[in-house]
Amino acid sequence: MSTTDTHHFNMKLYVMLPVIVAITLFLWFVPSTFFGIDGLTVTEQRTIAIFVFAALMWMFEVIPTWTTSVLIIVVMLLTISDSSLPFLKATGVPDELGTLVSYKSLLATFADPVIMLFLGGFVLAIASSKYGLDVQLARVLLKPFGKKSEFVLLGFLVVIGTFSMFMSNTATAAMMLTFLAPVLKTLPPDGKGRIALALAIPIAANIGGIGTPIGTPPNAIAFGYLNDSLHLDVTFADWMKIMVPYVYIMLLIAWGLLLWQYPFKQKTIELKIEGGHERTWRTYVVWVTFGITILLWVLESVVGINSYVVAMIPVGVFCVTGVIKEDDLKDINWSVLWMVAGGFALGLALNATGLAEHLVSSIPFGEWLPLVVVLVAGFIGYFISNFISNTAAASLIVPILSAVGVGMGDALLPVGGIKMLIVGATLCTSLAMLFPISTPPNALAHSTGLVTTKDMSKIGIMIGVIGFVLGYLMLYFIGI
C-alpha cells in the first residue's frame, strides 16, 4: 500500500468510521416514533440501524467490503438472533422486542446454495487456468477473427464476454490484459485504436457477466431470491435464454461505439497468445468435467438436477482426481463469497424480523405506477453501482425489491411482474462502469495508462443508457 493509500485509509478510518458509528447508534437508540412506522418493534429498529451501517460502510469502503459483511453477520447474531446477548432480549414487554432471527439461519448464509454455486464456478475457473484450458480456448476462439484491427477488437469483445459468463469478470479481464499488453505496445502511440482495445476488456467483462447466474455475484443474489425466497423456479437455462442474446447484442453495440469513438490507425494486428499446458490425463478430466457441468446447467429443466447441486460436481471430481490440490484452495475468492453471504444475512433479517413487510406497508407503492417502480429500481441499481461494488449494491437493493414485489403483488403483472423488478435492477448493476472505481475490470484497464476516466465515462454512459433501454425492452417482451 502506497503512502497516499495509507493516508486515504487512515482518513476513512478516523473520520468516516466515527460518523457512521454515530449515525448507527442514533438510529439504534432514538425513540421508535422517529421512523414514522406504526408498531415498529425493537428488533426491527435494530435491523434498520444495522442496514444503514452496512450501506454506509459498503459505500465508503472504510474497511474491505467482505469485512463489513462478516461484521454485520456477527453483530446480527449478538443483537437480533434467538441466541443474542441476554440483556438485549430483556425489554420487559415481549411484543415490543418483536421476532428474533434464528441464529442457525444467519450462520447458514455462509453456506447458502448460491454460495455453493459460486464455489463451483471458482473451482472450474481455477482448474481451467491451471491446466491451460483458458489459454487454449482463447487461442481457438480468437483465430476466426483474423488480423484486421476492427475484427481483432470484435474478437476480444466476444471472447472476453463469453469467458465472463463462466469465470469471474476480474479474472477474465486480468487474463486478457496479459494477452493484449504486448499488442498495445506495437500500436502507434498517436492512434486511438489502443484505447478501444484497452476499453474492450472492462466493457466485455462487465457485460459478459450478465449472461449466466454465476457470471457475476449480483446475478447469483437475484437468482437466489427468485428461487429460494420467492419460489419462482427460474432455471439456469431460463436465465441464459434471454441474457445470452442480450450480452451478444450489447457486445456488437459496444464494438460499433468503440470503432466510432476510437478508430484504428493501424490496419492489421498480429496476436501471439503464448502459454498452454503439457497435456496429461488430468487435462482431459478438466475438459470433460467443464463440458458436462455447463451442459447440466443449461439442461437443468430436462435432467432435473438443480444447478446448485451441479456446481458441486467439479468440486468433487477435481478434488478426488488431484486436479485441485490443497494449495489451490487458497485461490478461491473467499472474500466474494463472504461478501455475498452478508447480503443474504441482511435480506434474512429484513424478512424474519417482519421489517420488510412493515416498510412496504408504510410506503405507498400502491399509489405509484408499477412501471415507475420498476424503472426507478433499475436506475437506483445503476446509480449506486457506479460508486460501490456491484455485489454490495445488489446485496442492498435485492432484499428490499423482493419485499416490494411481494407487497405490490398482482399490480406488477402488467409490467412483467416481480421477475422484471428484480432481474431488471440486477442487470443495471452490471451496466455500471462510469469510473475506474466502478468495477475491478475498469481499474485494470485504467492501470494500462491508456484509458482516462473521461474515456471510460464517455463510453460508460452510452453503454449504460443503451443497455438500460434494451434490457427492459427484452425483459418486457420476452420475459425470463
Tens digit of pLDDT at every position of the chain (480 positions):
555 556 555 777 788 899 999 999 999 999 988 988 888 899 999 999 998 998 888 878 788 878 988 999 999 999 999 999 888 876 656 668 889 999 999 999 998 887 888 788 888 888 888 888 877 777 777 888 888 989 989 999 999 999 899 877 877 887 787 677 777 777 787 778 889 999 999 999 999 999 999 888 899 999 999 998 888 989 999 999 999 999 999 999 999 999 999 998 888 887 666 666 678 899 999 999 988 988 888 787 788 888 889 889 999 999 999 999 999 988 888 887 888 888 888 888 988 898 877 876 676 666 788 999 999 999 988 988 887 778 888 888 898 899 888 888 888 899 989 999 999 999 999 999 888 767 888 877 887 788 888 899 899 999 999 999 999 999 999 887
Q: If you ran DSSP here, which 8-state letter would residue 83 be given?
A: T
Residue 385 CA from chain centroid, whole number: 10
- How many of the other CB atoms lie within 10 Å of CB of 25? 12
Instruction: Give the type of residue at 130.
Output: K
70 three-class SS: helix
| Residue with cell string 432471527 | 101
Provide the pLDDT for residue 276: 60
358 contact partners, CB below 8 Å, separation of at least 6: 37, 39, 40, 44
| Residue with cell string 469467458 | 163
Calculate the alpha carbon distances from 208 to 6, 8, 56, 105, 430 in Å: 34, 33, 29, 33, 9
C-alpha cell at 2: 502506497
C-alpha 71/C-alpha 197 separation (Å) is: 40
Angle in degrees, CA 45, 48, 51, rounded to 5: 150
pTM of the model: 0.78
Cα Rg of the chain, angstroms:
23
- Give the helix/strand (H/E) hosting 58: helix 42-60
Provide the pLDDT for residue 1: 53
Q: Domain boundaries in the chain?
A: 1-111, 113-219+234-331
C-alpha 307/C-alpha 301 separation (Å) is: 10
Provide the pLDDT for residue 118: 79
- Exposure string over 391-420, b if 16+ CB within 10 A, otherwise e: bbbbbbbbbbbbbbbbbbeebbeebbbbbb
Q: If you ran DSSP here, which 8-state letter would residue 161 be given?
A: H
- Exposure string over 81-103, b if 16+ CB within 10 A, otherwise e: beebeeebbeeeeeeebbebbeb
Provide the pLDDT for residue 337: 84
101 three-class SS: strand
